[in-house]
Amino acid sequence: MQLSELQQEVHRYISQFKEGYFQPMTLVVRLAEELGELAREINHHYGEKPKKPDEPEGDIALEMGDLLFVLACLANRLEIDLGEAFSATMHKFRTRDRDRWTRRDRQEEDGQGGRADG
């Protein structure tokens, strides 16, 4: 799914309700809330804090989806095209950080996945 399609689908969903989009500050708080839920699941799966015995198993992918939904709501509310924003960000990384990381040679790139994150 393209980012523009994602934003359109979120808009169709939100548009069916009289309340519409929340205010930007509320959406930012919701982003923080969803990020916290994702962080909690990552911590339980990969960190040092195991879940309590009676705590249900969470789904990292679902938490990422929740975060993406709220981000799309915020972008729509602010009339920001996420595709354009992402393209600008990738341009920034490709130029500003061009020589920041040690590049793999072509054989390594073809055989193994790895990345340097911002």
52-86 pLDDT, tens digit each:
888 787 899 999 999 999 999 999 999 999 999 99
Q: What is the CATH number of domain 3-98?
A: 1.10.287.1080
Q: ∠ CA(115), CA(49), CA(42), 5° rounding?
A: 35
pLDDT of residue 70: 99
Q: ∠ CA(118), CA(91), CA(23), 5° rounding?
A: 75
Gap between the Cα atoms of 27 and 59, Å rounded: 22
CB 82 within 8 A of CB 71: yes
Q: Where are the domains of the chain?
A: 3-98
Count of helix runs (H) and strand runs (E) in the chain? 5, 0
pLDDT of residue 26: 99
Gap between the Cα atoms of 73 and 92, Å rounded: 24
Higher pLDDT, 100 or 24: 24
Percent of the chain with pLDDT over 90: 69
Ranges 26-35, 36-45, 94-103: which has the least confidence:
94-103
